[in-house]
Amino acid sequence: MKDIITSGKTALGIEFGSTRVKAVLIDENCAPIASGAHDWENKLENGYWTYSLEDVKFAIHSCFKALKEDVKEKYGCDFKTTGAIGISAMMHGYLAFDKHGKLLTPFRTWRNTTTAEAAEELTEKLGFNIPQRWTCAHIYQAILNKEDHVPEIAYVTTLAGYVHYMLTGVNAVGVGEASGIFPIDSDTNDYDENMMATYDALLKEKGFGKTLREILPRVLVAGENAGTLTEAGAKFLDADGEFSAGVPFAPCEGDAGTGMTATNSVREKTGNISAGTSIFAMIVLEKSLSKVYPEIDMVTTPTGKPVAMVHCNNCTSDINAWAGLFGEFASALGVTANKNKILDLMFENAMKGDSDCGGLTSYNYFSGEPVTGLQEGRPLFVRTPDASFTLGNFMRTQLYSALAALKVGLDLLLKNEKAAIDKIYGHGGFYIYPGVGQKITAAAIDAPVSVMKTAGEGGPYGMALLALYSVKNDGLTLEDFLEKKAFADAQTVTENPDAKDVEGFNVFLSRYVKGLECEKAAVNSI
């Protein structure tokens, strides 16, 4: 393995998630061989969820340093080169720069629900669902707000696009990432020209002096070369200055595309559920939807195939918050328990609860949840006086709550549109604990859910696969590359839905939907 690493016969994926930046290094057989991570948190500043560019630079330095240390510890060698690199990040958001590369306003992440006016107008004008978190909604809202920085905009990009640009000097994104910026035409694998013309007319009407194409990154598909690591980029990546420039890059991607890749879910009639800080389900479609659904986004695979996406802003943040509280309680008792041990116990006890959570209800809304009509969030736990208030029921409620909003959106796709699905894979932190998150998800969607051994690696592993594909694909399509090479011998565990759990989840969901008025009242009064 030492020779493989030192000779650069590896591929590296780095993903900027909402709470963790993680790097995964794989060998030529697609097996993970090393990793590094850095934890970070967004901040609510002046009404916007954000990370500073200084945070971004420190995060990649810290993450890459941890990767180098992991390589050194495991294999006794330095990590100075690799065969290919790919960057991915949480999709959407707004990073606007002037002609000198100066950031004009703090980064607005996907988590912000401040573009309702723009999203509604664009959805109507384009005849295409434009969610609030999409980049084109942020651009248009800034124009509607007549924000001071708007006349100075030279280009707008996403977090993945920004980091890729800093490393390569190339202002481009992968088609999957681009599909969260503006609608994509899957026949051309580029921004939809007709919709762009409509958008440009709106910009002209509002007095904005540039066209959309002038300010957006260009679009690339999986397998294309997206530049090489520059000398300045090598320093941006490695604070120690030891890593070599010249490494080829794959097109940067969003966490949706890397999630599909990491679960071999890029072929038609396949799907995956990514569950971490946010949660989303992706179903690769055979045909277009019959109408526009505000709850369903249309994005693409890394090769441009249309994908129906149900995205919810909240998933595991409240679970992590309760874990922190239980940790404090344990410390007060003189018991030392790290966060992972506490989470293990929480997930384990959830399986001891009643299938309907014993009458308990929880809303995990750290931020707004457009799928259920909430512009802001207030984490809320509710029970009736006669509810069965046990640890098992409490914990099961937290897990059900993490999936509830997703279930509301998915029902539109699966029941109304009769979308065909051959297989669904789960990945992300929610599925690290064997037989728990997976079983709960199977109950929620009333369908088998499979989890691969690499589920915990998640998006950065998917990005590493895309990086390897960009330099060594043997002429295969991405679908065949993943099926025949990356996952040919994948270890997969499938959990079928339990009838009692399905019934229990539906009882909980009915209570959850009826109780949304409580959550709305909390937002309005607290």
Percent of the chain whose predicted confidence (pLDDT) is above 90: 83
- Residue 434 pLDDT grade (very low, low, confident, very high; cuts 50, 70, 90): confident
Q: Which residues contact 439 (CB under 8 A, 6 or more apart)?
A: 351, 495, 498, 501
Q: What is the pLDDT of residue 288?
A: 77
Neighbours of 204 (CB within 10 A): 12
Q: What is the pLDDT of residue 344?
A: 94
What residue has token string 């699905």? 421
- Residue 274 pLDDT grade (very low, low, confident, very high; cuts 50, 70, 90): confident
The residues spanned by each domain of the chain are 2-258, 317-453+496-525
2-16, 150-164, 289-303, 503-517: the lowest-pLDDT one: 289-303
**317-453+496-525 has CATH 1.10.287.3240 classification:** no
Q: What is the pLDDT of residue 456?
A: 57
Q: Among 49, 40, 35, which residue's Cα sits nearest to residue 16?
A: 40
Interatomic CA distance for residues 137 and 116, integer angstroms: 8
Q: What is the mean pLDDT of residues 472-492?
A: 92
Q: What is the pLDDT of residue 492?
A: 87
Which of 296-300, 396-400, 423-427 has the largest mean confidence? 396-400
Query: Which pLDDT tens digit goes with each residue over 335-345?
Result: 988 888 999 99
Residue 285's alpha-carbon distances to 157, 252, 312, 420, 471, in angstroms, are 27, 23, 20, 8, 28
Q: What is the pLDDT of residue 516?
A: 97
Dmax of the chain from CA atoms?
66
Query: Which pLDDT tens digit goes with each residue over 347-368?
Result: 999 999 999 999 999 999 999 9
Query: Which pLDDT tens digit goes with each residue over 301-350?
Result: 999 999 998 989 999 999 999 999 999 999 999 998 888 899 999 999 99
Neighbours of 506 (CB within 10 A): 16
For the chain, what is the mean pLDDT? 94
Q: Examine the pLDDT at 267 and tell me if it is beyond 80.
A: yes
What residue has token string 């002046």? 46
Residue 337's alpha-carbon distances to 334, 341, 392, 393, 433, in angstroms, are 10, 6, 19, 22, 17
Q: Examine the pLDDT at 21 and tell me if it is beyond 60.
A: yes
Options 3.40.50.920, 1.10.357.10, 3.30.420.40, 3.30.1130.10; which CATH number does 2-258 get? 3.30.420.40
493: tokens are 């565990």
Given this chain, do its domains 2-258 and 317-453+496-525 carry the same CATH topology?
yes
pTM of the model: 0.82
Q: Which residues of 37-46 are buried (b: 16+ CB within 10 A; e: fewer)?
A: bbebebeeee
184: tokens are 């994509």
How many degrees, rounded to 5, is the angle at CA 314 between CA 310 and CA 320? Answer: 140
Q: Examine the pLDDT at 10 and tell me if it is beyond 70.
A: yes
Q: Examine the pLDDT at 454 and tell me if it is beyond 70.
A: no
104-108, 109-113, 384-388, 512-516: the lowest-pLDDT one: 109-113
For residues 516, 518, 522 and 524, what is the CA-based torsion angle, rounded to 10 degrees?
70
- Residue 455 pLDDT grade (very low, low, confident, very high; cuts 50, 70, 90): low
Q: Examine the pLDDT at 153 and tell me if it is beyond 70.
A: yes
Q: What is the mean pLDDT of residues 243-249?
A: 98
